Amino acid sequence: MIVCSCLVITDEHIEQALLEILNQADAPLPTPGVVYRHLQKKMVCCGCSPLAVSTIYRKIDELAERGVLCPYTCANAQGRLLKCASDTPAQRLIELPPLKRRRIEFPAGTPEDQALETA
């Protein structure tokens, strides 16, 4: 999924950056600015900031669930991110349930009849 269309940053880029950032001894809070600098990018319009925060938060959770990162490190980073995002659009995105894919039906005979839509 593309998180920043200006710089073409995907959630996979963010995940890789988080792995590298959170494995440091004194890992900084993985804000969008920290993650983008790690990717050697500079935010352009900042319109992706709320989505970047929610993606970072979600990816940290996924990395902890997979056992790739220390669960304590992940919980600490998530708590700090949530505290920094309080009363912002990013907090509302963090608190939303994850998107689920669902099957949509098209009229019979159209090539889209097997397409999936993000809910």
Q: What does the pLDDT look like over 58-86, one tens digit per residue?
A: 998 899 889 888 888 888 888 887 787 77
pLDDT at 83: 81
Q: Ranked by mean pLDDT, which of 47-51, 84-88, 92-96 comes out on top?
A: 47-51
Q: What does the pLDDT look like over 13-32, one tens digit per residue?
A: 999 999 999 988 888 889 89
Strand partners, 26: none
pLDDT at 117: 47
pLDDT at 53: 86
pTM: 0.69
91 is in which domain, residue-wise? 2-118
**3-state DSSP of 12-75:** HHHHHHHHHHHCCCCCCCCCHHHHHHHCCCCCCCCCCHHHHHHHHHHHHHHHHHCCCCCHHHHH
What token pair was written down for 62?
């996924």
Counted domains in the chain: 1
